[in-house]
Amino acid sequence: MARNRIRLSEVAREAGVSPATVSRAISQPDLLSPETLARVRRAADHLGYRPDAAARALASGRSMTIGAVMPTLDNAIFSKALQAMQAQLAEDGYQLLVASHDYSKAAEAECIRTLLARGIDGLILVGAERIAEAAQLLTQSGLPVVMTWCAPDGAPSVLVDNEHAGLLATRHLIGLGHRRIGVITGATRFNDRQRGRYRGVRLALEEAGLTLPPALACEQATTLAGGRMGCAQLLDLAEPPTAIVGGIDLIAIGCMVEAQARGLAIPADLSVAGIDDLDMSAHVSPSLTTVHVPTARIGTEAARMMVATLRDEPGPTTLTLPVDLIVRRSTGPAPARG
């Protein structure tokens, strides 16, 4: 950390006021008379004064820094949310300290620990599943926390109804006449988002009186390659599905790639639906039917909620964002019975 050359006290001297006044000029300008304020400002500009963040943090107990712990940045949905979060926080004068754990619970706990030690004013998390140690750290720190995507009832959070998303995608396929529907999700073990979506799929099937044979459900990495592998697995079955739901768009797109590589036409031979609505999903060929999840908004709203909490502004402490089915070209009527 570069020692700033100019200190607050020097600005005070230059402006002919006390250090306290300069401090107030920075953080509570209303308290000063317009003339004094102007004089201080002029002096500060003149000297090129920049307050020292560490000193402010130490003296005030606030660091103006929010921590965010994400599963990974290497996935459009999280990096997009992070991008939006950062933009919103910057607008309110906060900075974002980022950590990612690559879907490891232990690593997540470590992230939380270091972020906590680093002196943050609030913490934004993804999902609500974590080891006891991490949860305990959080509660005993008393730090404001906002969870995203998933959270237990009542916890401050910005959510999407993952179950509903799975439900919408599956209902759509059922409505098109599909009866044999496969599902490929990401690992559900440390991922309540994927679990919720999977539940939604099952729910829709049950509603329609259909069953999900175990062979038609598989877990894969949440990547395009994972989607390809999962699709290959399902298509190799003696009775392959006529439609597949991907737990995230990346998987669904992988499915399409694999199916097309095998000479299948989409949606004539196989319908594919995803969940997320990535930017690219509208542009792949055929365009992907999916459930839109307002990823960027999750970031924005989480940031807003965090700032509101820190400012003691009243307001809703949980927010559920809507998900919508976007019907595109990758889904169509079930093929006639052979």
Determine the size of the site formed for a copy of itself (CB under 8 A): 60
Give me the count of residues in the chain.
338
- Restricted to residues 2-31, the positions that interact with DNA (CB under 7 A) are 3-4, 7-9, 16-24, 26-27, 31
CA 150/CA 298 separation, integer angstroms: 11
| 155 binding partner (options a copy of itself, DNA, none; Cβ < 5 to 8 Å by kind) | none
Which ranges in 208-292 belong to alpha helices (H)? 224-235, 249-261
- Restricted to residues 162-191, the positions that interact with a copy of itself (CB under 8 A) are none
With contacts defined by CB under 8 A, name the span among 85-93, 168-176, 238-246, 317-325 that binds a copy of itself.
85-93
| 118 binding partner (options a copy of itself, DNA, none; Cβ < 5 to 8 Å by kind) | a copy of itself
CA-nearest of 273, 276, 282, 277 to 178 is: 273
Cβ atoms within 10 A of the Cβ of 218, count? 16
Shortest distance, position 78 Cβ to a copy of itself, whole Å: 8
Contact 177, 334 (CB under 8 A): yes
| DSSP string over 75-108 | SHHHHHHHHHHHHHHHHTT-EEEEEE-TT-HHHH
| Site map 202..231 versus a copy of itself, x via CB under 8 A | ---------------------xxx--x---
**Among 12, 40, 44, 96, which residue sits at the site for a copy of itself (rule: CB under 8 A)?**
96
3-state secondary structure of 292: strand
Contacts of 79 (CB under 8 A, 6+ apart): 73
CA 62/CA 283 separation, integer angstroms: 45
Shortest distance, position 60 Cβ to DNA, whole Å: 4
Q: Is 309 in the site for a copy of itself (CB under 8 A)?
A: no
| Site map 36..75 versus DNA, x via CB under 7 A | x------------x-xx--xx-xxxxx-------------
CA 78/CA 298 separation, integer angstroms: 10
Residue type, 222: T
Contact 278, 76 (CB under 8 A): yes
| Site map 255..284 versus a copy of itself, x via CB under 8 A | --x--xx-----------------xx-xxx
Task: Kindly state the tokens that stand for 278.
Answer: 């990535």
Shortest distance, position 16 Cβ to DNA, whole Å: 7
CA 190/CA 186 separation, integer angstroms: 10
Q: Which residues bind DNA (CB under 7 A)?
A: 3-4, 7-9, 16-24, 26-27, 31-33, 35-36, 49, 51-52, 55-56, 58-62
Q: Which residues bind a copy of itself (CB under 8 A)?
A: 1-3, 50-55, 57-58, 61-65, 72-76, 79-80, 82-83, 86-87, 90, 95-100, 114-121, 141-143, 223-225, 228, 250, 254, 257, 260-261, 279-280, 282-285
